[in-house]
Copies of this chain bind each other. A is one copy, B any other.
Amino acid sequence: MKWIDGGVTAPKGFWAAGVSAGIKKGGTKDMAMVYSQVPCVAAGVFTTNVVKAAPVKWDYQVVHESDYAQAVVVNSGVANACTGAEGLGHCKETAKTAGEALGIPADAVLVASTGVIGAKLPMDKITEGVRTLKEALGSDQKAGALAAEAIMTTDTKPKEIAVETVIGGKTVTVAGMCKGSGMIHPNMATMLCFVVSDVKISHSLLQKALSDDVVDTFNMISVDGDTSTNDSVLLLANGLAGNEEITEEKEDYRAFCEALHVVMEELSKKIAGDGEGATCLFEVKISGAPTKEAARILAKSVVTSSLTKAAVYGHDANWGRILCALGYSGVSFDPEQVDIWFESRAGKLKIVENGVSTGYSEEEATKILSEEEVTAIADMKAGTETATAWGCDLTYNYVKINADYRS
């Protein structure tokens, strides 16, 4: 498997576009389309929030009930959440317009929205935008990059990735793009992520591969503990790689899962590291946990601790806050067994041994904590299970961005 340049247009037969439809101010790109030349099997995982945005309800139906999917239409600026029956009507109308423009059934069109909750979609702009997108579709890297740019809200950079692997003697490409910066604490999925592949695979195994992988990727990131109403990860596979269809959990399936995992983990980390106001990616690795679930809970408890995140921003090796966050996670353990390290490009330093300070050099710790990617490692010495979670530091700018988001 190898990393290649590009994004959602990298796999065979996938086209994309990103345009400005006038939903956001100042001519910023705010609509994107991903289109496959041939029908795709589709999988999806969605927010567990009781309050589900209209597009989440629509996409759930398409993924689980339609014969196939062939396009995704995304808008940023307005989330189409808490908009009642009218909001769901707007999804249907968007899909219908896109279906007509592309010559495919409306129920083969997935839709996604991100932005302010409670506001209604400006349907005249959306309709016009869908037609512009259809005309702008392209199969080159640039087209994929424009789509990745158009789905951004408070993101500071577009997020895309592509990898190649070989399955049954054929080159298979898996690629994706995502957006997300605030309201990031996915539970089953994250804000918006679109993964595409030219692999040939059965519907049930595509869904299984996705559902299994989010547990260790998107469900392990957190920017602020707020699980959005719109979280969606969509995965489309069009089969154009020409491999023999994957219908069993054997070698081919594992090769696909491995490529999928790289794409999903990398996109997850891109979201965590670009958290609203963040100056660094904060990674938490737990080892020696009694169960996998305990390891995940411990890792997420540390990565979501406001006090720990503020300390990381201050480059302060305040390990007491890490031990404290492990302690209130709900997992039972012996604090007097725990070892803690900080690690980054600048080095690795043992801070705590058996629950008390090692008497480490604060200066060296600050140096390690001053990098753009910082890892805290906790060995619970109570088993063999591990887990990793990703988040970011808590900064003045997170508050600034969110105090006046709607202004």
Contact B306 A83 (CB under 8 A): no
Contact A225 B323 (CB under 8 A): no
When C-beta atoms are compared, the residue in chain B nearest to A316 turns out to be B406
Tell me the chain A residues, 76-107 only, with Cβ under 8 Å from chain B: 79, 81-84
This chain's copy number in the assembly: 2
What chain B residues lie within 8 Å of A333 (beta carbons)? 50
What chain B residues lie within 8 Å of A202 (beta carbons)? none
Contact B49 A356 (CB under 8 A): no
Which of B83, B306, B355, B396 meets A82, CB within 8 Å?
B355
What chain B residues lie within 8 Å of A329 (beta carbons)? 50
One of A16-24, A35-43, A397-405 contacting the partner = A397-405
| A117-B402 contact given A82-B335, A182-B307, CB 8 Å threshold | no
Contact B82 A117 (CB under 8 A): no
When C-beta atoms are compared, the residue in chain B nearest to A319 turns out to be B118
- Bound-state CA distance A401–B403 (Å) is 18
What chain B residues lie within 8 Å of A227 (beta carbons)? 324, 327-328
Contact B50 A332 (CB under 8 A): yes
- Bound-state CA distance A228–B306 (Å) is 12
The answer to the question of A395 belonging to the interface, with a C-beta cut-off of 8 Å to chain B, is yes
Give the bracket for the number of chain A residues in contact with chain B.
35 or more
| A320-B118 contact given A306-B306, A335-B51, CB 8 Å threshold | yes
Which of B225, B229, B318, B406 meets A318, CB within 8 Å?
B406
Q: Is the interface of A mostly helix, strand, loop or mixed?
A: loop
Contact A316 B224 (CB under 8 A): no
- Bound-state CA distance A355–B319 (Å) is 42
Tell me the chain A residues, 311-366 only, with Cβ under 8 Å from chain B: 311, 313-314, 316, 318-321, 323-329, 331-333, 335-336, 352, 354-357
Contact A355 B224 (CB under 8 A): no
Contact A311 B399 (CB under 8 A): no
The answer to the question of A394 belonging to the interface, with a C-beta cut-off of 8 Å to chain B, is yes
The answer to the question of A190 belonging to the interface, with a C-beta cut-off of 8 Å to chain B, is no
Contact B229 A51 (CB under 8 A): no
The answer to the question of A268 belonging to the interface, with a C-beta cut-off of 8 Å to chain B, is no
What chain B residues lie within 8 Å of A327 (beta carbons)? 49-52, 227, 229
| A405-B311 contact given A225-B305, A323-B117, CB 8 Å threshold | yes
- Bound-state CA distance A304–B224 (Å) is 10
Contact B82 A320 (CB under 8 A): yes
What chain B residues lie within 8 Å of A244 (beta carbons)? none
Chain A interface (Cβ within 8 Å of chain B)? 48-52, 79, 81-84, 116-118, 182-183, 185, 187, 224-229, 304-307, 310-311, 313-314, 316, 318-321, 323-329, 331-333, 335-336, 352, 354-357, 394-396, 398-407
- What are 8 A-B pairs at a CB distance below 8 A? A82-B357, A117-B321, A118-B319, A185-B328, A226-B325, A314-B403, A394-B399, A394-B402
